[in-house]
A and B are shown apart, each in its own frame.
Chain A
Amino acid sequence: DIQMTQSPSSLSASVGDRVTITCRASQGIRNDLGWFQQKPGKAPKRLIYTASNLQSGVPSRFSGSGSGTEFTLTISNLQPEDFATYYCLQHNTYPLTFGGGTKVEIK
């Protein structure tokens, strides 16, 4: 299985901050990676697909980059509704595997 190591596991930030979350794959996955946001009691919501493509309807303050084994999700100008848990998901090789999650909390 491809291991997805996501960091940090949690972070505290203020409204207006720039936040960066990283996922590292145990082997190369090209750009076969998505980023998801999950709020308590809800299903995850896709933000980014194929590493850097913004899902329709998602604010442009979210961006993704990377290829191969290292990927980042950046949230610029953090908003109150962005406080949530974020996951990466690789879909290059089965079984699909998720990162462990990053909880973004209010400082």
Chain B
Amino acid sequence: QVQLQESGPGLLKPSQTLSLTCTVSGVSITSGSYYWSWIRQPAGKGLEWIGRIYPRGGTNYNPSLRSRVTMSVDTSKNQFSLKLSSVTAADTAVYFCVRLPAGKDVDYWGQGILVTVSS
């Protein structure tokens, strides 16, 4: 059974870099034609796609966040990661890691992790 689990600091100060890791179990992160992605949701608001990474090469980022986002993969640990630089209170949200089959929408979600940006 495919499972995704987010981890990382839950509290950041403005201007710091948000760093989250998603640990994947039940499937190899390099198997099949899967992209791995991050989505976020501010409290009481809608969902925003952040970007995706393909372990064999390639990333796509939301243009609204592109200048601050970096995604990477650690195949030895079956993990992928998100870095978002220069955070502000507007980046406070629940962050979900998800799986995207090629050409399709999200089929598996992590439980989500709340990240709060506050001085």
Residues A43 and B109 in contact, CB atoms below 8 Å apart: yes
Find the residue from B37, B62, B96 having the highest chain A CB count within 10 A.
Answer: B62
Within 8 Å of chain B (Cβ to Cβ): is A69?
no
> Size of chain B's interface in residues, with CB distance under 8 A?
22
- Given A34-B105, A34-B106, A91-B105 in contact, is the A44-B47 Cβ separation under 8 Å? yes
The answer to whether A91 and B96 touch across the interface, beta carbons within 8 angstroms, is: no
**Interface pair B49/A43, CB less than 8 Å apart:** no
What's the nearest-Cβ distance from chain A to residue B75, in Å? 23
Give the A-B contact count at a CB cut-off of 8 A.
Answer: 54
Name the contact of B110 in the complex, choosing from A1, A43, A89 (C-beta under 8 A).
A43
**Docked-complex contact B47 and A98, CB < 8 angstroms:** yes
Task: Give A38-77 interface residues, CB cut-off 8 Å to B.
Answer: 42-46, 49-50
B30 surroundings in chain A (CB, below 8 A): none
**9 A-B pairs, CB-CB below 8 angstroms?**
A1-B63, A43-B112, A49-B107, A91-B100, A91-B103, A95-B49, A96-B49, A96-B105, A98-B48
Q: Which B residues lie at the A interface, using CB under 8 A?
A: 37, 46-49, 52, 60-64, 96, 100, 103-107, 109-112
* B4 to chain A: closest residue by CB: A43
Q: What is the CB-to-nearest-CB distance from A105 to chain B, in angstroms, rounded to a whole number?
A: 15
The answer for the CA separation of A100 and B44 in the assembled complex, in Å, is 11
**How far, in Å, is B13 (CB) from chain A's closest CB?**
26
Cβ-neighbour of A49 out of B52, B96, B104, B110 (below 8 A): B104
The complex places the Cα of A34 from the Cα of B60 at a distance, in Å, of 20
C-alpha gap A8/B49 in the complex (Å): 22
